[in-house]
Chain A
Amino acid sequence: GAVVSQHPSWVICKSGTSVKIECRSLDFQATTMFWYRQFPKQSLMLMATSNEGSKATYEQGVEKDKFLINHASLTLSTLTVTSAHPEDSSFYICSARPGGSYNEQFFGPGTRLTVL
Protein backbone atom coordinates (compact mmCIF):
# COMPACT_ATOMS: atom_id res chain seq x y z
CA GLY A 1 0.00 0.00 0.00
CA ALA A 2 0.93 3.64 -0.34
CA VAL A 3 3.28 4.90 2.35
CA VAL A 4 3.75 8.38 3.69
CA SER A 5 6.65 9.08 5.99
CA GLN A 6 7.37 11.99 8.30
CA HIS A 7 10.61 13.15 9.81
CA PRO A 8 11.28 13.64 12.60
CA SER A 9 8.79 11.52 14.53
CA TRP A 10 9.25 13.78 17.52
CA VAL A 11 11.09 16.98 18.28
CA ILE A 12 11.68 19.10 21.35
CA CYS A 13 12.78 22.69 20.87
CA LYS A 14 13.17 25.89 22.79
CA SER A 15 10.68 28.70 22.52
CA GLY A 16 11.54 31.09 19.70
CA THR A 17 13.27 28.57 17.47
CA SER A 18 12.00 27.27 14.14
CA VAL A 19 11.28 23.63 13.43
CA LYS A 20 11.01 21.94 10.05
CA ILE A 21 8.97 18.78 9.53
CA GLU A 22 9.32 16.74 6.35
CA CYS A 23 6.61 14.68 4.71
CA ARG A 24 7.40 12.24 1.91
CA SER A 25 5.29 9.99 -0.24
CA LEU A 26 7.49 6.94 -0.64
CA ASP A 27 5.92 4.96 -3.45
CA PHE A 28 3.66 7.37 -5.28
CA GLN A 29 3.62 10.89 -6.56
CA ALA A 30 1.48 13.26 -4.56
CA THR A 31 0.14 16.23 -6.41
CA THR A 32 -1.68 17.37 -3.29
CA MET A 33 -0.45 17.24 0.28
CA PHE A 34 -2.21 18.25 3.46
CA TRP A 35 -1.06 19.27 6.91
CA TYR A 36 -3.13 18.63 10.01
CA ARG A 37 -2.65 19.47 13.67
CA GLN A 38 -4.03 17.51 16.58
CA PHE A 39 -4.06 18.61 20.20
CA PRO A 40 -4.36 16.01 22.97
CA LYS A 41 -7.76 14.34 23.11
CA GLN A 42 -8.99 16.38 20.17
CA SER A 43 -9.66 15.62 16.54
CA LEU A 44 -7.45 16.46 13.59
CA MET A 45 -7.69 19.99 12.29
CA LEU A 46 -6.79 20.71 8.68
CA MET A 47 -4.21 23.48 8.57
CA ALA A 48 -3.42 23.80 4.89
CA THR A 49 -3.50 22.17 1.50
CA SER A 50 -0.65 22.39 -0.95
CA ASN A 51 -0.28 21.48 -4.57
CA GLU A 52 3.13 20.77 -6.02
CA GLY A 53 4.78 23.89 -7.33
CA SER A 54 2.20 26.34 -6.04
CA LYS A 55 1.48 28.20 -2.83
CA ALA A 56 -0.37 26.49 -0.04
CA THR A 57 -3.99 27.26 0.76
CA TYR A 58 -4.43 27.83 4.46
CA GLU A 59 -7.58 27.19 6.44
CA GLN A 60 -9.20 30.05 8.27
CA GLY A 61 -7.38 30.97 11.44
CA VAL A 62 -4.07 29.38 10.47
CA GLU A 63 -1.23 31.91 10.22
CA LYS A 64 0.59 31.39 6.96
CA ASP A 65 3.62 33.35 8.13
CA LYS A 66 3.98 31.13 11.15
CA PHE A 67 3.40 27.81 9.44
CA LEU A 68 5.43 27.86 6.25
CA ILE A 69 4.63 25.11 3.79
CA ASN A 70 6.76 24.17 0.83
CA HIS A 71 5.68 21.51 -1.65
CA ALA A 72 8.74 21.54 -3.85
CA SER A 73 8.37 18.16 -5.48
CA LEU A 74 5.80 15.46 -6.09
CA THR A 75 7.12 13.45 -3.17
CA LEU A 76 8.11 16.04 -0.58
CA SER A 77 6.35 18.69 1.44
CA THR A 78 7.77 20.53 4.43
CA LEU A 79 6.10 22.38 7.27
CA THR A 80 8.21 24.92 9.13
CA VAL A 81 6.90 26.20 12.43
CA THR A 82 8.59 29.57 12.81
CA SER A 83 9.35 31.12 16.18
CA ALA A 84 7.68 28.25 17.95
CA HIS A 85 5.99 28.82 21.31
CA PRO A 86 4.63 26.36 23.87
CA GLU A 87 1.11 26.74 22.47
CA ASP A 88 2.40 25.32 19.17
CA SER A 89 3.14 22.03 20.89
CA SER A 90 0.99 19.50 19.11
CA PHE A 91 0.88 16.39 16.94
CA TYR A 92 1.42 17.39 13.31
CA ILE A 93 0.24 14.95 10.68
CA CYS A 94 0.74 15.17 6.95
CA SER A 95 -1.30 13.48 4.29
CA ALA A 96 -0.86 12.94 0.58
CA ARG A 97 -3.16 12.30 -2.34
CA PRO A 98 -1.90 10.50 -5.44
CA GLY A 99 -2.09 12.36 -8.69
CA GLY A 100 -5.33 11.77 -10.53
CA SER A 101 -7.08 10.37 -7.47
CA TYR A 102 -10.20 11.88 -5.98
CA ASN A 103 -10.83 9.48 -3.14
CA GLU A 104 -7.51 8.14 -1.96
CA GLN A 105 -5.59 9.95 0.73
CA PHE A 106 -2.80 8.49 2.83
CA PHE A 107 -1.54 9.74 6.16
CA GLY A 108 1.88 9.92 7.70
CA PRO A 109 2.62 8.64 11.23
CA GLY A 110 2.73 12.14 12.68
CA THR A 111 5.35 14.33 14.33
CA ARG A 112 5.04 15.26 17.97
CA LEU A 113 6.36 18.76 18.60
CA THR A 114 7.08 19.92 22.12
CA VAL A 115 8.11 23.53 22.62
CA LEU A 116 9.69 24.30 25.97
Chain B
Amino acid sequence: DAKTTQPNSMESNEEEPVHLPCNHSTISGTDYIHWYRQLPSQGPEYVIHGLTSNVNNRMASLAIAEDRKSSTLILHRATLRDAAVYYCILRDVGGANNLFFGTGTRLTVIP
Protein backbone atom coordinates (compact mmCIF):
# COMPACT_ATOMS: atom_id res chain seq x y z
CA ASP B 1 0.00 0.00 0.00
CA ALA B 2 1.25 3.46 -0.84
CA LYS B 3 2.46 5.30 2.25
CA THR B 4 1.71 8.76 3.51
CA THR B 5 3.86 11.06 5.62
CA GLN B 6 2.37 13.59 8.01
CA PRO B 7 3.81 15.76 10.77
CA ASN B 8 3.29 14.21 14.18
CA SER B 9 1.65 17.28 15.62
CA MET B 10 0.50 20.79 14.82
CA GLU B 11 -1.00 23.66 16.74
CA SER B 12 -3.47 26.28 15.71
CA ASN B 13 -5.17 29.20 17.34
CA GLU B 14 -8.90 29.05 17.59
CA GLU B 15 -10.80 30.61 14.68
CA GLU B 16 -7.73 30.66 12.46
CA PRO B 17 -7.27 28.52 9.35
CA VAL B 18 -5.28 25.30 9.62
CA HIS B 19 -3.35 23.65 6.83
CA LEU B 20 -2.52 20.00 7.48
CA PRO B 21 0.01 18.63 4.98
CA CYS B 22 0.39 15.10 3.70
CA ASN B 23 3.06 13.68 1.42
CA HIS B 24 2.32 10.65 -0.71
CA SER B 25 5.08 10.49 -3.28
CA THR B 26 4.36 6.86 -4.25
CA ILE B 27 0.69 7.43 -5.00
CA SER B 28 -0.69 5.40 -7.89
CA GLY B 29 -3.29 6.33 -10.45
CA THR B 30 -6.06 4.42 -8.71
CA ASP B 31 -5.37 5.82 -5.23
CA TYR B 32 -7.94 8.15 -3.77
CA ILE B 33 -6.77 10.51 -1.03
CA HIS B 34 -8.91 10.20 2.09
CA TRP B 35 -8.86 12.20 5.28
CA TYR B 36 -10.34 10.98 8.53
CA ARG B 37 -10.10 12.40 11.99
CA GLN B 38 -10.36 10.77 15.38
CA LEU B 39 -11.45 12.60 18.48
CA PRO B 40 -10.28 11.20 21.81
CA SER B 41 -11.84 7.84 22.70
CA GLN B 42 -14.01 7.80 19.58
CA GLY B 43 -14.00 6.02 16.25
CA PRO B 44 -12.64 7.82 13.20
CA GLU B 45 -14.86 10.27 11.38
CA TYR B 46 -14.78 10.84 7.62
CA VAL B 47 -13.65 14.32 6.65
CA ILE B 48 -13.13 14.47 2.91
CA HIS B 49 -11.67 12.61 -0.05
CA GLY B 50 -10.50 13.39 -3.56
CA LEU B 51 -8.72 12.02 -6.58
CA THR B 52 -7.23 14.83 -8.65
CA SER B 53 -9.25 18.00 -8.25
CA ASN B 54 -9.57 20.13 -5.14
CA VAL B 55 -12.63 19.33 -3.08
CA ASN B 56 -14.77 21.30 -0.67
CA ASN B 57 -17.40 20.20 1.80
CA ARG B 58 -18.97 21.60 4.91
CA MET B 59 -16.15 20.34 7.11
CA ALA B 60 -13.04 21.17 5.15
CA SER B 61 -11.28 21.67 1.84
CA LEU B 62 -8.80 19.35 0.22
CA ALA B 63 -6.09 20.80 -1.98
CA ILE B 64 -4.31 18.23 -4.14
CA ALA B 65 -1.00 19.00 -5.83
CA GLU B 66 -0.94 18.79 -9.59
CA ASP B 67 1.42 15.80 -9.51
CA ARG B 68 -0.74 14.27 -6.71
CA LYS B 69 2.34 13.60 -4.59
CA SER B 70 1.06 15.76 -1.79
CA SER B 71 -2.17 17.17 -0.47
CA THR B 72 -3.32 19.60 2.19
CA LEU B 73 -6.38 19.46 4.37
CA ILE B 74 -7.67 22.92 5.12
CA LEU B 75 -9.86 23.73 8.08
CA HIS B 76 -11.05 27.25 7.42
CA ARG B 77 -11.70 28.27 11.01
CA ALA B 78 -10.41 25.95 13.68
CA THR B 79 -12.61 25.40 16.70
CA LEU B 80 -11.85 23.58 19.93
CA ARG B 81 -13.99 20.72 18.62
CA ASP B 82 -11.52 20.25 15.77
CA ALA B 83 -8.80 19.07 18.15
CA ALA B 84 -8.18 15.52 16.99
CA VAL B 85 -5.76 13.22 15.20
CA TYR B 86 -6.07 13.70 11.45
CA TYR B 87 -5.22 10.80 9.19
CA CYS B 88 -4.33 11.08 5.53
CA ILE B 89 -4.90 7.73 3.84
CA LEU B 90 -4.50 6.47 0.30
CA ARG B 91 -7.22 4.13 -0.79
CA ASP B 92 -6.65 1.96 -3.84
CA VAL B 93 -10.08 1.40 -5.30
CA GLY B 94 -8.45 -0.77 -7.93
CA GLY B 95 -7.06 -3.11 -5.31
CA ALA B 96 -8.06 -4.23 -1.85
CA ASN B 97 -9.74 -0.88 -1.21
CA ASN B 98 -8.99 -1.04 2.50
CA LEU B 99 -8.22 1.86 4.79
CA PHE B 100 -4.83 1.50 6.43
CA PHE B 101 -4.15 4.17 9.03
CA GLY B 102 -0.75 5.77 9.51
CA THR B 103 0.32 7.75 12.55
CA GLY B 104 -1.60 10.90 11.64
CA THR B 105 -1.21 14.49 12.83
CA ARG B 106 -2.38 15.45 16.29
CA LEU B 107 -3.95 18.89 16.01
CA THR B 108 -4.09 21.03 19.13
CA VAL B 109 -6.35 24.08 19.02
CA ILE B 110 -5.37 26.87 21.36
CA PRO B 111 -8.18 29.00 22.74
A98 at interface (Cβ–Cβ under 8 A)? no
Known contacts: A43-B87, A102-B93. The answer to whether A107 contacts B100 by CB under 8 A is no
Give chain B's interface residue range (CB within 8 Å of chain A).
20 to 34
A81 at interface (Cβ–Cβ under 8 A)? no
Chain A contact residues: helix, strand, loop or mixed = strand
Known contacts: A95-B99, A102-B97, A105-B99. The answer to whether A43 contacts B43 by CB under 8 A is no
Count CB-based A-B contacts (< 8 Å): 48
B residues lining the A interface (CB < 8 Å): 32, 34, 36, 38, 41-46, 49, 87, 91, 93, 96-104
Whole-angstrom CA separation of A106 from B41 in the bound complex: 16
On chain A, the number of residues with a Cβ less than 8 Å from chain B's Cβ atoms is 22
**Cross-chain contact B91 with A49 (CB below 8 angstroms):** no
B43 and chain A: residue at smallest CB distance? A107
Which residues of chain A are within 8 angstroms of B103 by Cβ–Cβ distance? Answer: 43
Whole-angstrom CA separation of A45 from B99 in the bound complex: 9
